[in-house]
Structure formats: structure tokens, C-alpha cells
């Protein structure tokens, strides 16, 4: 506990504080890099125990490179997070390092192999066990990082997870893993005194990534040691809030056509805050839900075959219902979003095929008259309503080439834009004026105009043979 006040003092002296922004819930600058205190408190309390000459030390040495690989990956996560907190790091680089760390853990022999449901069935994942393990580790690492948006939320849920995994480790006879989880639990509990609302310090990415990776790897190690369903199911349930929150957030952003890792204010804790709960009430609600689901999950230890599966799905259904109640998932909106994405994808495929077809026509255009005919074909294919191309004859008189559909829609529903076209004679630009019907969203109109502008830019009159250029206008 003493490491956290020291880190608060250092962070304030060095200016390592989290300034409020559009996404922030806090209103005042808060010291960050609390993950440094969590990291050193856990490591300092754990490493000496592993190397002493007793049963714990012997168990550590019997595990070979598994625990060193787990710790190496956790240290990589801490170092990466610390660099990101201080200097910033691109998301792709962070994901690459996470994958490397997860692969190191898998290569050491920590991976999911088999799931056994007593008297019912067993599943041997084979090679896919490595892929599932990597996805699980990277996913949980980022899930803990994402949910770290409220005072005490990530630290409290992670502490509960460490306690549950520690109990499983003891039951499976994995003393070393139990020591690791107890060290994490102690460091998180000490940190939580200063991180609970109103927080005096935030853990930062160095803390959330270190915690998420360590918990994820430890849960895999517990599951791989116990082939029973409970070894995999219980970590999933105790981490249910960050898992569901991350999944629904990514789904929501995908349907909204935003980056799946882009920030927003629609997370589990944001929903509860919008319902009128205070920060400490939201954290306590999350603790109660996590403890309740974990308690129900322990029933897996006392059930057999079908009952185990029913308990697991009942717990997951309760979590789903909770997220439905707070508004993190709305079935009608989700289905509408899926249909919208499907319709958009279909429309874009049609537009792309039409674009490619018209481009072939442009490649065969040898004179200005043919070029204009292809422009009209492109307008029809891309669902435009009207075109005007303003020209100047050689004697200086104006001339306009026009095209329009047979039945022009209401002018109030037309969007008018102008596309400049290079004029070879005056070193200036001609103007192609287009009208597009708003058959849907304005974004769809702009996308069609963009495709036409691209065609005109790549196949303008300047690209025609010289002899034909003398004929135009």
C-alpha cells in the first residue's frame, strides 16, 4: 500500500497527470501511472517466495519455463503500457506486442487443450487451442484496459478475478499460481484504497495491460491444468463484465461504421452513470454482479454433465440480461444496424461493378463525342438525375452539353455539385455540374459523386488522342 502514495507524489511532481477531456468523467487532473505501484508491489512480494527452498520454490522450479514466460509477457505489457502512458504508442504496435507476448506464453506450454464435461462430452482443440489461447489473452488484456474508465472499476473487478483464479489454483494444486494471484490481489487491494471514488490516482495503461495480461495468462494456466469445464468457465464468468462490455462496444462501433477500437461514451459504466448512479455506486454494482456471477459459477464444482452446462448458460444469460437492462445492447437497433450494414455493402458492391464497367468504356473512348457519351453512361449507372457540361466554342460563344433521366425527380430531393475538368486550351478548368437524387443518405450521394469525379479525373479530355482534341468544342 505504501507504493501507491509514493507514486501519487512522484506523478504530481513530474506532471504525470490525466487531464480531463471529452471522454473523461473526472473534472480535475488526477495522477496517473498507478500501474507502476501495482507492478512493483506484485513483483516484489512474489519473486522472493518463488526462489526460496521450500514447497513453493520446488513447485516453481518443477513448472519449467511456464511461470518465467508468463512473467516475461506481463513485464512486456507493463513496459509497453508505461511507454504509451508517457509518450504514446500506435494501436497497431500495441496489438503486435500483445500478440508476441501471448505467443511467448503459448510457446512455453500454457494453452487450452481440452474441455471435459463430466459424463457428457469432451472437446480436444488440438492446434486450434493455441489460436484460442492467443485470442483469449489478447482479448482479456484489452477488455481490462477498456473497462478502466471509472474510479475503482477495473481494479475491483480484477481483484475479484485474482481471488477466484487463486481459489481454483489451490483446488488444482497449483501453489505457484496461487501465490501469483495472491500477490496480484494484495497489490490491487492496496491500490484500490487510493483508486476508489474519488480517485487520487489512475492505474494507466501500464497497470491495466499488466493486470489484464497476467489474469488472462493465469486463467489459461488454471484451465489447462484442470480439463473440467469449470477451469475455463469460471474465469469467463468472473470477467463477464469486461468481456461483454468489450464485445458489445466493438459490435456497436462496427454497426456504426467506426473503428472497433475508437473511443466512445457507451460503455457499461457510462450507461449506469447516465441512469443516475454515482461513480462509487456504479463500482459497487459491478462488484456485486461479479461476485454474484462468480458465486453461481462455483456451482459448476458441485454439478455434473448437463447441469454444468445449464449453470454456465444461466450465468451468461443473466449477464446478457443485465447489459440489456442498462441499454448496452438493444435487439431491434442491433438488427436494424446489421440490415443497414448489409444493404450498404450490397450497394457498394453494385457501385464498384458499375464503376469498373464504365472504366472499360472510357478506355475505348477516342474522341470527345465518345467521351461525353461515356460520361452519360456513367451518370446513368451511378444513378444521377442530370448533367451539364459548360463549354466555350472557338469563337468564344458558350455552349452547354446536357443529359438527364427521362423522369426527373422533385428538385427538392436533388443534390447539386460541380466537378472541375482540365481544359487543354486555356490551362483552366471546365465545369461539370451534376444533380444526384437523394435516394437514401447524403453519404451515399457523396460516394457516387466521388466515383464519378474519380472517373473524370482519370479519363478527362486531356487523355484523348491529340487529333480528337482538335475536334472538341
CA dihedral of 111, 71, 151, 297, whole degrees rounded to 10: 30
Q: State residue 472's pLDDT score.
A: 46
Sign of the torsion angle spanned by Cα atoms 185, 191, 197, 202: negative
* Residues pairing with 402 in the sheet: 388
- From edge to edge, which strands make up the β-sheet containing 398-404? 398-404, 384-392, 428-437, 414-423
Here the cell at position 104 is 511467448
Tell how strand 414-423 and strand 121-124 pair up: unpaired
Shared domain check, 136 and 38:
yes
Residues 375 and 458 in one domain: yes
Would you say residue 159 lies in a domain?
A: yes
Last residue of a domain, one of 295, 329, 363: 329
Q: Which residues, other chains included, contact 157 with Cβ-Cβ below 8 Å and sequence gap of 6+? A: 144, 147, 239, 241, 242, 286, 287, 290
Give me 121's grid cell. Answer: 462430452
Rounded to whole angstroms, the Cα distance separating 443 from 448 reads: 9
Same domain, 319 and 421: no
Domain match, 103 and 138 both: yes
Number of domains in the chain: 2
Domain region containing 42: 3-329
Residue 152 in any domain: the answer is yes
What pLDDT sits at residue 469? 46
In DSSP notation, 221-243 reads: HHHHH--BHHHHHHHHHHTHHHH
CB under 8 Å to 418, separation ≥6 — which residues? 431, 432, 433, 434
Interval 60-71: pLDDT, tens: 777 778 888 999
Q: Does a structural domain hold residue 60?
A: yes
Residue pointed to by grid coordinates 507493463? 78
CA 220 to chain centre: 22
| Cell digits of residue 176 | 505457484
Give me the tens of pLDDT residue by residue for the chain, a chain 473 residues long: 567 888 888 888 888 887 766 566 666 788 888 899 999 999 888 888 777 777 777 777 777 788 889 999 999 999 999 999 999 899 899 999 999 999 999 999 888 887 776 666 677 888 888 999 999 999 999 999 989 888 899 999 999 999 999 988 888 888 888 889 999 999 999 999 998 878 889 999 999 999 999 999 998 888 776 656 677 788 889 999 999 998 888 888 888 777 776 777 788 888 899 898 998 899 999 999 999 999 888 887 766 667 777 888 899 999 999 998 988 877 778 888 888 888 888 888 988 899 999 988 888 888 888 889 999 999 888 888 889 998 877 777 788 899 988 776 666 678 888 888 877 666 677 888 998 887 767 888 888 889 988 988 888 877 777 544 444 44
CATH number at residue 380: 3.30.1140
Residue 300 burial (10 A CB sphere; 0-12, 13-18, 19+): buried
In a domain, residue 343? The reply is no
- Note whether 443 and 324 are same-domain residues: no
Judge if 44 and 150 occupy the same domain.
yes
Does any domain span residue 178? yes
CB of 246 closer than 8 Å to CB of 143: yes
Is 247 in a helix, a strand, or coil?
Answer: helix
Are 322 and 378 contained in the same domain? no
CB atoms within 10 A of CB 156: 22
Q: Are residues 274 and 407 in the same domain?
A: no
Q: Which residues of 341-369 are buried (b: 16+ CB within 10 A; e: fewer)?
A: eeebeebeeebeebbeebeebbeebebbe
pTM of the model: 0.80
In a domain, 395, yes or no: yes
Asked whether the CA dihedral 406, 411, 412, 414 is positive or negative, the reply is positive
Could you tell me if 54 and 187 lie in one domain?
A: yes
Q: Do residues 183 and 91 both lie within one domain?
A: yes
Residue 301: inside a domain: yes
- Distances in Å between the alpha carbon of 81 and those of 105, 212, 246, 322? 18, 12, 19, 31
pLDDT tens digit sequence for 77-95: 999 999 999 998 998 999 9
Whether 33 and 182 share a structural domain = yes
Residue 246 forms part of a structural domain: yes
Question: Who's near 295: CB < 8 A, 6+ residues apart?
Answer: none
Do 192 and 243 share a domain, yes or no? yes
Amino acid at each position: 500500500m505504501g507504493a501507491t502514495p509514493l507514486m501519487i507524489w512522484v506523478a504530481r511532481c513530474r506532471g504525470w497527470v490525466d487531464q480531463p477531456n471529452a471522454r473523461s468523467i473526472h473534472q480535475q487532473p488526477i495522477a496517473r501511472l498507478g500501474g507502476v505501484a501495482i507492478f512493483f508491489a506484485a513483483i516484489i512480494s512474489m519473486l522472493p517466495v518463488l526462489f526460496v527452498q521450500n514447497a513453493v520454490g520446488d513447485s516453481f522450479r518443477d513448472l519449467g519455463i511456464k511461470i518465467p514466460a508468463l512473467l516475461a509477457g506481463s513485464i512486456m505489457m507493463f513496459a509497453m503500457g508505461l511507454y504509451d502512458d508517457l509518450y504514446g504508442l500506435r494501436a497497431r504496435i500495441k496489438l503486435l506486442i500483445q500478440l508476441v507476448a501471448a505467443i511467448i506464453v503459448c510457446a512455453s506450454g500454457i494453452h487450452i487443450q481440452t474441455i471435459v464435461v463430466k459424463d457428457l462430452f469432451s472437446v480436444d482443440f488440438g492446434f486450434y487451442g493455441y489460436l484460442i489461447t492467443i485470442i483469449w489473452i489478447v482479448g482479456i488484456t484489452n477488455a481490462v484496459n477498456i473497462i478502466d474508465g471509472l474510479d475503482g472499476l477495473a481494479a475491483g473487478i480484477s481483484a475479484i478475478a485474482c481471488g477466484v483464479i487463486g481459489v481454483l489454483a489451490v483446488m488444482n494444486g497449483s501453489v505457484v499460481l496461487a501465490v501469483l494471484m495472491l500477490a496480484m490481489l494484495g497489490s490491487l487491494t492496496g491500490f484500490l484504497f487510493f483508486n476508489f471514488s474519488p480517485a487520487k490516482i489512475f492505474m494507466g495503461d501500464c497497470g491495466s495491460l499488466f493486470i489484464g495480461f497476467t489474469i488472462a495468462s493465469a486463467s489459461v494456466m488454471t484451465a489447462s491444468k484442470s480439463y473440467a469445464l469449470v477451469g475455463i468457465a469460471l474465469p469467463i464468468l468472473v470477467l463477464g463484465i469486461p468481456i461483454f462490455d468489450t464485445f458489445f462496444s466493438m459490435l456497436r462501433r462496427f454497426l456504426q461504421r467506426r473503428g472497433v477500437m475508437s473511443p466512445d461514451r457507451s460503455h457499461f459504466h457510462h450507461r449506469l452513470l447516465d441512469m443516475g448512479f454515482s461513480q462509487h455506486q456504479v463500482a459497487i454494482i459491478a462488484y456485486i454482479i461479479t461476485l454474484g456471477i462468480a458465486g453461481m459459477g462455483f456451482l459448476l464444482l458441485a454439478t455434473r454433465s448437463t447441469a454444468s452446462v445449464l449453470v454456465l448458460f444461466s450465468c451468461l444469460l443473466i449477464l446478457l440480461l443485465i447489459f440489456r437492462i442498462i441499454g448496452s445492447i438493444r435487439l431491434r437497433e442491433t438488427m436494424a444496424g446489421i440490415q443497414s450494414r448489409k444493404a450498404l455493402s450490397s450497394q457498394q458492391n453494385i457501385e464498384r461493378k458499375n464503376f469498373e464497367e464504365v472504366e472499360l468504356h472510357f478506355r475505348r473512348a477516342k474522341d470527345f463525342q465518345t467521351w461525353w457519351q461515356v460520361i452519360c453512361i456513367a451518370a446513368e449507372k451511378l444513378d444521377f438525375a442530370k448533367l451539364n457540361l459548360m463549354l466555350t466554342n472557338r469563337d468564344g460563344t458558350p455552349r452547354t452539353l446536357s443529359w438527364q433521366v427521362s423522369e426527373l425527380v422533385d428538385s427538392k430531393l436533388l443534390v447539386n455539385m460541380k466537378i472541375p475538368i482540365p481544359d487543354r486550351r486555356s490551362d483552366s478548368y471546365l465545369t461539370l455540374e451534376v444533380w444526384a437524387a437523394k435516394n437514401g443518405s447524403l453519404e451515399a450521394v457523396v460516394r457516387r459523386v466521388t466515383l464519378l469525379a474519380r472517373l473524370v479525373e482519370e479519363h478527362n479530355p486531356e487523355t484523348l488522342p491529340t487529333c480528337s482534341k482538335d475536334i472538341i468544342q
